[in-house]
Amino acid sequence: MKNGIIKLSSLATGKSAVIIEFEKDDLHIKLMEMGCVPGETVKIEKVAPLGDPISIMVAGYNLSLRKTEADHIWVEEI
C-alpha cells in the first residue's frame, strides 16, 4: 500500500473507492473501455467463493473482473 492507495482486488466487499491509476500494460486500455477510468467511483458488489471473479459497480453498471485484472487497478477507499 502506498499513501492509502490499494489494489482494487484488496478492497472489501461492500466498500467503495475512487480509481487512481492503472499499472501500464495492454490491459489498462480494455479496462478504460469498460468504464474503469481514473476518477470514477467503484464499489465491490460480490466476490466469488474462491476469490475469482470480483463483481464491481462502475459507471452505473455491474462488471465482473478476474482478480488478476483487479490487481492492475489502484484505488483510494472512500
3-state secondary structure of 49: coil
- The predicted model scores a pTM of 0.84
pLDDT-based confidence at 42, cuts 50/70/90?
A: very high
Is residue 21's pLDDT more than 60?
yes
- Percent of the chain clearing pLDDT 70 (strictly above): 96
Is residue 19's pLDDT more than 90?
yes
3-state secondary structure of 61: strand
Give the pLDDT confidence score for residue 2 in this predicted structure.
Answer: 59
Mean pLDDT for the stretch of residues 28-32? 81
**Domains and their CATH numbers in the chain:** 5-77 (2.30.30.90)
| 8 A C-beta contact, residue 42 and residue 19 | yes
Question: 45-72 pLDDT, tens per residue?
Answer: 999 988 889 999 998 889 999 998 899 8
